Amino acid sequence: MKIHQIRNATLIITYNDTKFLIDPWLMPQESMPGFDSAIHPEVRQPRCELPLSVEEIINVDAVILTHWHPDHIDEIALGALRKTVPFFVQNEIDGGIIKQHGFTDVRIIDESGTEFNAVKLIKTETQHGERAVIKPICDSIGMPYDAMGVIFTANGEKTLYLAGDTIWCPEVQKALEMYHPAVVIINACGAQMATGDRLIMDINDVRAISACAPNSLIIASHMDTVSHLTVTRADIRALNLKNIVIPEDGETITP
């Protein structure tokens, strides 16, 4: 497998010779204001430019959208991707939105597994921030709460766990214990609400997943891009955790 860090949660994962584009957020730097309900609403985002052209990024076999949030997909991606590309989503709600944008091959990843090009994709549960706290906030502003993680398996490949937008929680621990992934991708910039509640993994969560999966290679993604971050690549490097890798935008990891 190859894991190409593009920007934020946008990745190109080449797995069993199939290229999956993850969470394509492709707008130019500072095209979008910060989120009103999060810290630093005055900071425009994305904070940095893409390391590749949009044309290069969308040259893939399939797309996986972990959830419909504006820092995971945008109008640039929806307009640039070919409408026949296989598009994998977490549920009927997200699938319906993608279909409304003209995509004709929309598939839901199931918890029992969905096959594509001899790759098995398995949906895993998340907590996009502590559920009891963050879901009511999302409901109040009309933003969906749910996100998914994805397990990748195939003959001859190491098991990969894309944890998605989640904090360290029992759902993540369950996935680690059930699938024993050799490689784990975490979203780890500690994005935070104005209330101080985290939405994805922060420093303490990174320490926890590193300790729980000492034999896994853990790749920190979703870094240094959104307005409401509280953790940087430098912060994670300073932890000196031997099983953590923090790729720069444009860098490819071959586990």
pLDDT tens, residue by residue, 108-125: 999 999 999 999 999 999
Domains, the chain, in order of start with CATH, read 2-253 (3.60.15.10)
DSSP code, position 123: E
Position 143 pLDDT exceeds 90:
no
Position 23 pLDDT exceeds 90:
yes
Q: What's the pLDDT score for residue 12? A: 98
User: Which residue type sits at 49?
Assistant: E
Q: How many CA atoms lie within 13 A of 138 on its CB side?
A: 18
3-state helix, strand, coil in the chain (%, to 5): 20, 25, 55
**Average of per-residue pLDDT across 226-244:** 98
Mean of the per-residue pLDDT values for the chain?
97
Task: Give Cα 33 distance to the centre of its chain.
Answer: 20
Distance, CA of 73 to CA of 86 (rounded, Å): 15
Counting residues of the chain whose pLDDT is more than 70, the rounded percentage is: 100
Position 249 pLDDT exceeds 90:
yes
Q: What's the pLDDT score for residue 137? A: 86
User: Pairing between strand 244-245 and 217-221?
Assistant: parallel
Q: What's the pLDDT score for residue 141? A: 83
Give the torsion through C-alpha atoms of 140, 142, 143, 144, to 10 deg.
90
Q: How many CA atoms lie within 13 A of 30 on its CB side?
A: 2
Q: What's the pLDDT score for residue 194? A: 92
Residue 140 pLDDT level (bands cut at 50, 70, 90) = confident
